[in-house]
Structure 1
Amino acid sequence: MRRFFFDITDTGEVYHDARGATLPGSASAKERAFDIVRKLMTGPLRTEHCDLGCTVRDVDGNQLMQIRIAFGMPETTNDPNLADAV
């Protein structure tokens, strides 16, 4: 079992995980990071650009992986079907 730390990034704000979690290995840490980002996505309705992420670190502070999703509407579009949505 290894200890992993899951730092959250939400549109420029970073929240460091000081407690961490003991998990069987990297695959479990990856799945937990995906779960964290999924939960962030289903939070309060976001109407503008958003950049969400979870960085997984080990006990020495080394970055092992990062799960990140950015979404939002472009400021301008040439697609007439999206013109009313912007």
Structure 2
Amino acid sequence: MEKNFKKVPPPESDAKADDLPSNLGERKDKRKSPPIDNTDIEDLSSDPGERKDIMEYLSHQRDEVRRKYLTKVAFMKYPKTNKTA
């Protein structure tokens, strides 16, 4: 490796830790999402025609919404019929 690349000495900087801006460690996230509205998730309709599409929820809410759909009874029981042969 040393044949192909030359070693570069690290630059000598006169900058001290006090001269650096204080907000370097802070992460600024421009894509802040609105807070999760738990009332929407608690009031999910069991009828697929009435409820929102799963893709309309925020990405971090989808898993929770899927779990709520699965825990609710989302189907109608099939009526029993009397078969006489």
Q: TM-score, normalised by structure 1?
A: 0.28
More helix by share: 2
| Rg larger in structure | 2
Q: TM-score, normalised by structure 2?
A: 0.28
**Higher RCO (CA < 8 A, seq sep 6+):** 1
More strand by share: 1
